[in-house]
Structure 1
Amino acid sequence: MSVTPALDSAGATARARPASPEPLAPRRTGRTGRAAAGLVPAGLALAVGLWGVRRGNSMWRDESTTYQVAHRSLADIWRLLGQADVVHGLYYLFMHGVFALWDGGLLALRLPSVLATAAAAAGVGLLGQRLAGPRAGLAAGLVFPLFPVVQRYAQEGRSYALVCAVVVWATHLLLSAVARPRKRTWTCYAAVAALACLLHEFAVLAVLAHGVALYRARVPAALGWAWGQAAAAAALVVTPLVIVSQQQVALVGWISPPGISQLLGFAVPALAGVLCAKVPAPALWPVSLGDLALPLLILPPAVLIAVSYVHPLYVDRYVIYVYVGLALLVGARLERLLRAAAAPRTAAALLAVVAVAAVLPYSAQLRTPQGRIDDTIAAARAVRELSRPGDGVLFMPARRREPIMSSPGDFRGLEDLALAEAPVDSATLHGVELPASRVRARMLTADRIVTVNDSPGQPLDDNARENTKRGVLKKYLHRCAVRDVTGMRIVLYGRPGGC
């Protein structure tokens, strides 16, 4: 007796059933595959992050701000946040705790970012594993820490790597909440998303990208409503931060509308992601890899760029989590290519060699003092070498005061001729300077003055105080010595015959 008709009938019946309105549970993969997809990328990210982490004992101006603010007392940090940099407030408080536990200088300053990038790489690998299988996850996790932008901020004492890591793990919670809807999971998603937004308010664009991903995946309306409630809760938590930061918007007045380089910096990764998304990935999850990765890659920078033509706000480091989306798409594409290769292991090894060779020159340059726009430690060292006790010192403009704040020992014995109130006392980032007339009077009492300046070619601040500084130096003193360091110029002036 043949059984073929019965089997055919059962198959036809199964195919005729309507799709279930409930999300489908993901297909399980082996523990070894899951472990490799997370641990191997984390190990690579850790190795890449620790490679040259001191950058030749250099520190650029934003890191200098982190260093000196985090070393203030909690009360002084709180006073500062009412005046400036509230958008980084939670990060400063976190770094205050780090330095309280271990005041390890540059390594303590940067190690949290290194560890956060390793956690993000592990999360990217596990996201890829959940969405497209263990090999695609492993590829995505290995690609992520090799992106030059990711390498850069993995070694900086700023919040961006931490924001990226928190966004990655919020995305994991989103997928878990979609696959097995529970109030507890949605609550955890809302809490972690809020944490990302408190670390930097532009992480709210990642939460918006999550909503677009659910829309693209056509999840049931109940899941969309649950996401909306979680997103609203995160937005409510971050609203006070947004209100205060808008009162400090003058601090980002240096940002210009997006130019060609910024547009290309957005368009090239976006185009690469779109091309990679054209290769279908296996549907292992209710939300596909493309549904999730494309909005995460494209939406946050696109929104910021559009807004920036009215009110400039776009800087690529504010949304480096977009490279999570690119890594997922590239990883899935690489997995398909390697699977189709005649010798997959040989092709994978060759691809790895090519990738490392392509990024190695830039990676090596990133780990030098010249890998950032300036170096406050080198500037402080040059001041110490050119000066002697009793000399005056001027910062031109006043915001170049970072070297004395991060390396005060190099300025010991020098008199800050323009300073009225120190940064900590005035609850500001750079202190408060005297009126122009008082600055002039104090300059005229000095026989030698060391100045810390922007690098040549930068526009000069046109205000009474800075004009007075330049005018007195030109009229009454001679230039004795010049020392150029990365991003700054140190000049020693003296009275005629006093150099």
Structure 2
Amino acid sequence: MAVPALDTARAAPHTRPAPAPRPARRPGRAAVALAPAGLALALGLWGIRRENSMWRDESTTYQVAHRGVADIFHLLGEADVAHGLYYLLMHGVFALWDGGLLALRLPSVLAMAAAAAGVALLGHRLAGPRTGLAAGAVFALAPAVQRYAQEGRSYALVCAAVVWSTHLLLSAVANPRGRAWAGYAAVASVTCLLHEFAVLAVLAHGVTLLLARVPAPIRWAWARAASAVALVLAPLVIVSQQQAALVGWIGRPGQTELLGFLALTAVGLGCAVLPLRTSAAISLRTLALPLLILPAATLLAVSFIHPIYVDRYVLYSYAGFALLTGAGLEAALRAAPHPRAGAAALAAVAVAALLPYSIELRTPQSRLDDPMAAARAVRELTRPGDGVLFMPARRREPIMSSPGEFRGLKELALAQHAVPSGTLHGIELSAPRIRARMMTAERIAVVTDPPGRRPDDTPQERTKREVLAQHFRRCAEREVQGMVVLLYARPGAC
């Protein structure tokens, strides 16, 4: 009986089983965060100067942030209080480094990179590293995210703050201590002070807790934190309501706005019905769906009574969209026979589909107008001593963001500059005084809206049009993005 045992022992080296395949190495938290952040940073820095263009909202940020702190507070009592904290932050940026367009847009680029990292970590936290990577990449590549990553406005900062306040919410739910809820309330308050409609993200967080059926003490803790946010936000809401005329340009939601919202919602819901992984008490679905749907749906519904919906006001909804889409992609690739090949194919398709739009986003034509181009056109058409008019008066962005291009020209309608008057565009003279000053000019450069826009029907604007028509002749015209620069002169003086 010993012989078979000996034979078996000798045969063992030749029949040793093959080693088990090593499990695929999963990316760690650092890689999950850094890859989407790096992608968002690269996309944000690509073409950041946008061919040296700046549209009117960025022009407002630029000139307000260059005012003194006391002058900014003077302005906020009259206009744009909703962006007050952002203007003060940008004032600090320009005080440290007055880097022109780069300084204007770099905070938004960095904020969107932080938001992409936060979205990726949310995906990792809720459903695993692959979902996190996919969600972060979807967020960074989203056309709207690319657009506002390169704008000198508050929306990228709000987006990042909402994402990281969501992390604080999950931490407070997992470890419900007073300090955790205080941190959540503090960050959510700052977020809402950056833009008051971020309060809808706080409301979405409450819906998430209801859907997740967390214990009642946690829901009450969130309610106390939300109440603290509301108290902090209340003074801003009261003052901004007194300045509601500044958003009177917003119309009722049209087909474009509704279809855009419905398309994002349909994709999100389609991904939500897939068998998504979850590794947390609060599932990815219950967190992402309210964040995607509730803020935009609320503003749209209100806007049919009181128009207030603009998609950038709820840009942070893309965090919910990215989480759902990333989880859906991960589920689809998990079921595919060759996941890596499938991921490469999806990346190639995404790049091919988004590249034309991404290139267009980095041109002046991608924005409503270009006051800097208008300022350059004024300089090319005028000579020292010429007069200049803005029709309507709120088209003064070119001279406020590029004053050097207007050196030597005489403003014919301005009574008081914007800074001492505590206004965005300054205060104009009465109609009779504008007429008198126009009659002293030999040549007048006019910065106005493109054809087809309804002219303002104020005494000052009517006077400008009448004097030009009766006493001047059009000599030259330069059309730039969203504006027209016209040169008028006395008969025979062209």
Q: What TM-score do you get using the length of structure 1 for normalisation?
A: 0.93
Q: Does 1:466 align with 2:461?
A: yes
CA offset at residue 31 of structure 1?
A: 9.0
Cross-structure match for 2:388 = 393
Find 1:291's aligned residue among 279, 286, 290: 286
Contact 2:26 2:129 in 1 (8 A): no
CA distance in 1, matches of 2:80, 2:211: 36
CA distance in 2, matches of 1:348, 1:35: 21
CA distance in 2, matches of 1:439, 1:266: 46
CA distance in 2, matches of 1:197, 1:493: 47
Unpaired segments ≥5 residues, structure 1: 1-29
Q: Does 1:169 align with 2:159?
A: no
Cross-structure match for 2:21 = none
After superposition, what is the alpha-carbon deviation per residue over 1:396-436, rounded to whole angstroms, capped at 9, x for unaligned? Answer: 00000000000000000001100000000100000000011
Counterparts of residues 139-154 of structure 1 (less than 5 Å): 139-154=134-149
Between 1:456-465 and 1:247-256, the stretch displaced more is 456-465
CA offset at residue 212 of structure 1?
A: 0.3
Counterparts of residues 50-449 of structure 1 (less than 5 Å): 50-449=45-444
CA offset at residue 286 of structure 1?
A: 1.2
Larger radius of gyration: 2
Cross-structure match for 2:483 = 488
2:474 counterpart letter in structure 1: R
- Runs of 4 or more above 6 Å deviation: none
CA distance in 1, matches of 2:97, 2:458: 42
CA offset at residue 37 of structure 1?
A: 1.4
CA offset at residue 63 of structure 1?
A: 0.1
2:125 counterpart letter in structure 1: R
SS at match of 1:490: strand
CA offset at residue 241 of structure 1?
A: 0.5
CA offset at residue 339 of structure 1?
A: 1.1
CA distance in 1, matches of 2:348, 2:90: 37
SS at match of 1:54: coil
CA offset at residue 459 of structure 1?
A: 1.2
1:220 counterpart letter in structure 2: P
SS at match of 1:45: helix
CA distance in 2, matches of 1:445, 1:265: 52
1:235 counterpart letter in structure 2: A
Q: Report % sequence identity.
A: 71
CA offset at residue 285 of structure 1?
A: 1.0
Q: What TM-score do you get using the length of structure 2 for normalisation?
A: 0.94
SS at match of 1:281: coil
CA distance in 1, matches of 2:259, 2:439: 50
Contact 1:179 1:285 in 2 (8 A): no
Contact 1:210 1:295 in 2 (8 A): yes
2:435 counterpart letter in structure 1: R
Contact 1:455 1:487 in 2 (8 A): yes
Unpaired segments ≥5 residues, structure 2: 1-24
CA distance in 1, matches of 2:331, 2:264: 19
1:485 counterpart letter in structure 2: V
1:407 counterpart letter in structure 2: S
After superposition, what is the alpha-carbon deviation per residue over 1:158-177, rounded to whole angstroms, capped at 9, x for unaligned? Answer: 00000000000000000111
Contact 1:85 1:245 in 2 (8 A): yes
CA distance in 1, matches of 2:133, 2:198: 25
CA distance in 2, matches of 1:359, 1:119: 22
Q: Give the count of matched residue pairs.
A: 470
Contact 1:478 1:493 in 2 (8 A): yes
CA distance in 1, matches of 2:27, 2:262: 37
Contact 1:455 1:488 in 2 (8 A): yes
CA offset at residue 33 of structure 1?
A: 2.2
After superposition, what is the alpha-carbon deviation per residue over 1:122-144, rounded to whole angstroms, capped at 9, x for unaligned? Answer: 00000000011000000000110
CA distance in 2, matches of 1:356, 1:36: 21
CA RMSD of aligned residues (A): 0.9
CA distance in 1, matches of 2:332, 2:278: 18
After superposition, what is the alpha-carbon deviation per residue over 1:102-128, rounded to whole angstroms, capped at 9, x for unaligned? Answer: 000000000000000000000000000
CA offset at residue 280 of structure 1?
A: 2.8
CA distance in 2, matches of 1:382, 1:176: 54
After superposition, what is the alpha-carbon deviation per residue over 1:225-258, rounded to whole angstroms, capped at 9, x for unaligned? Answer: 0000111111111111011000000000000011
